[in-house]
Amino acid sequence: MKEFFGSVVGIIVTIVVVIGLIFGGAVVYWNVIAPAISQGQYNTNRNSQQFQATTIAHGRDLVTGYNLANDDGSKIAIKAEFCQIYHDITVAPSDLAAAHQQLCN
């Protein structure tokens, strides 16, 4: 009887330890490893030449739209979007820097 009880306790302890390791590994992965990986991918994509060129073109389109807009509601919406995306541009061209000074300050 003592041998049976000892083997059952050993099996239960082993199961608890394995479940703890699996759960702990999942917690570490989702709280430490996964955010670091996704942040690295975000930084790589944000600093890519294609992203920068597209963001600059979009910023220029917004400035043109702001200058052509007739109503205050459109100007407010365009201004808010321009001021938000401007910070994604790593090296702003002079025309966008001047527009940022005019619209966002």
CA-CA distance, 51 to 102, in Å (whole number)? 24
* Residue 1 reports pLDDT greater than 60: no
Q: Which of 9-13, 24-28, 40-44, 99-103 is the most confident on average?
A: 99-103
Taking only the tens place, the pLDDT of each residue in 59-79 is 999 999 999 999 999 999 999
Residue ranges per structural domain of the chain: 1-46, 49-104
pLDDT above 60: residue 84: yes
Q: pLDDT band at residue 2, thresholds of 50, 70 and 90?
A: low
Residue 59: CB atoms within 10 A of its CB come to: 22
User: How does pLDDT run across 87-98, given as a tens digit for each residue?
Assistant: 989 899 999 999
**Matching residue, tokens 């200058």:** 67
What is the share, in percent, of the chain residues with pLDDT greater than 90?
Answer: 54
* Residue in this structure with the two tokens 């100007």, named with its chain if needed: 75
C-alpha to C-alpha distance for 66 and 7, rounded to whole angstroms: 77
What is the percent of the chain where pLDDT is above 70? 90
- Asked if pLDDT for residue 85 goes beyond 60, the answer is yes
On whether the pTM is more than 0.85, the answer is no
Question: 62: exposed, middle or buried (C-beta count within 10 Å: 0-12, 13-18, 19+)?
Answer: buried
